[in-house]
A and B are shown apart, each in its own frame.
Chain A
């Protein structure tokens, strides 16, 4: 089954404690992306990657890091989480070479930073 998986689904942590949210896709998509969803703001792109070792900032990259060492995986790293990073996070993947390809989304990770 074609899918994007994220782990963990729920995470409560404390300020400053480094964490990683994993994302994996099995569709051989070149393009992967991270979003955060906040009430009233919709989804905002954090980082995206067009292929292995190729990443770029989205609209809200501050406080986040990513890496793309393998095509299928695109982890999101919060080196020193703060309460304003409490949010719902989505990973997504897509074919890259055609505008018509929609993004496939993971199930989301609800992060709370206290």
Chain B
């Protein structure tokens, strides 16, 4: 089974609107971490936001927030007030704890295009 699933290969959003990128994960570990990375066309990987499995509140970092629904095993990224510079590939990733502590898994990514 896929550890990380991103079901939206591509998405469009109008500038200044909010957009949600979906991510579901699969793990039986009680301890895990969830990450979102941005990859612009230049190719580098940029860390955006982190959510721990025991965190009570949804993570936020500026215009990025993570909608964490533990029971549904989903960790959707919400970008508010989209900007043209948000056009990029976005990857959801998971780090498993306790036994597989050091394995990272990535989804296949969502390509976001922000329209002016």
- Chain A interface residues (CB < 8 Å from chain B): 31, 33, 35, 40-45, 48, 50, 56, 58-59, 88, 90, 92, 96, 99-100, 102-105, 107-108
Contact = CB atoms under 8 A, between A and B. Distances in A.
Interface residues of B, number: 28
Interface in B66-116: 91, 93, 95, 97, 101-109
Given A44-B106, A48-B103, A58-B103, A99 B33 contact: yes
A59 B9 CA distance: 22
Contacts of A105: 37, 44-45
A105 B38 CA distance: 12
Given A31-B102, A42-B107, A45-B103, A100 B45 contact: no
A104 to B, nearest CB: 8
Contacts of A103: 35, 45, 47, 104
A96 B102 contact: yes
A59 B96 CA distance: 14
Contacts of B37: 105
B32 A40 contact: no
Given A48-B102, A100-B52, A41 B108 contact: yes
Given A96-B102, A102-B35, A105-B45, 15 more contacts: A31-B102, A33-B104, A40-B9, A40-B108, A42-B106, A45-B104, A45-B105, A48-B103, A56-B102, A58-B103, A99-B53, A100-B52, A103-B104, A104-B47, A105-B44
